[in-house]
């Protein structure tokens, strides 16, 4: 069970890092900005499902291992649910040029949350490997 939880935590960390830094960057490098924005927006639901499923699996495989892992991973899971239900629709609603200020604020919030989603599994991996 510990090895599966470790692999899933690594999978979550690597997948989020690759999607956030690699995929997004390459889309804007190789596609026109309007196409890149639309393309990335269409991939977000798959990213959300990925984060939700993998974080739920980490919780399940960590039930008898670590309360800290469960708590931190649950924080990813529950805030991702809230982000999907509240934050992302708000960002979409504010994406026209008339609402630039609120869009920037909401998008920045989304980016900060995603950074936390990368930091939390990195922290868990650090704890696992140093203990």
Q: What is the mean pLDDT of each run of 10 residues along the chain (131 residues)?
A: 90 94 91 91 91 96 90 95 91 82 91 93 88 68
Cα 84 versus chain centre, distance: 11
* Residue 4 contacts residue 119 (beta carbons within 8 Å): no
The pLDDT, as a whole number, for residue 94 is 83
Residue 116: which of 51, 49, 26, 27 has the closest Cα? Answer: 51
> Domain limits at 124?
2-130
Residue-wise DSSP of 64-130: TT-HHHHHHHHHHHHHHHHIIIIIHHHHHHT-SGGGHHHHHHHHHHHHHHHHHHHHHHHHHHHHHHH
The total number of structural domains that make up the chain? 1
Structural tokens at position 26: 């390459």
The pLDDT, as a whole number, for residue 37 is 86
Return d(Cα 51, Cα 63) in angstroms, integer: 18
The pLDDT, as a whole number, for residue 106 is 92
Structural tokens at position 73: 């991973």
Return d(Cα 16, Cα 103) in angstroms, integer: 22
The pLDDT, as a whole number, for residue 64 is 86
The pLDDT, as a whole number, for residue 93 is 87
* Residue 55 contacts residue 77 (beta carbons within 8 Å): yes
3-state SS class at 56: helix
């Amino acid at each position: 069970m510990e090895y599966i939880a470790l692999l899933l935590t690594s999978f979550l960390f690597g997948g989020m890092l690759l999607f956030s830094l690699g995929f997004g960057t390459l889309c804007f490098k190789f596609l026109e900005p309007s196409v890149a924005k639309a393309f990335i927006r269409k991939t977000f639901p798959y990213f959300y499902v990925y984060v939700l499923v993998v974080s739920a699996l980490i919780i399940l495989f960590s039930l008898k291992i670590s309360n800290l892992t469960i708590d931190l991973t649950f924080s990813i899971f529950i805030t991702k649910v809230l982000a999907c239900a509240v934050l992302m629709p708000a960002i979409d609603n504010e994406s026209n040029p008339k609402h630039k200020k609120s869009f920037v604020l909401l998008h920045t919030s989304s980016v900060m949350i995603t950074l936390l989603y990368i930091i939390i599994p990195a922290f868990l991996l650090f704890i696992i490997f140093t203990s």
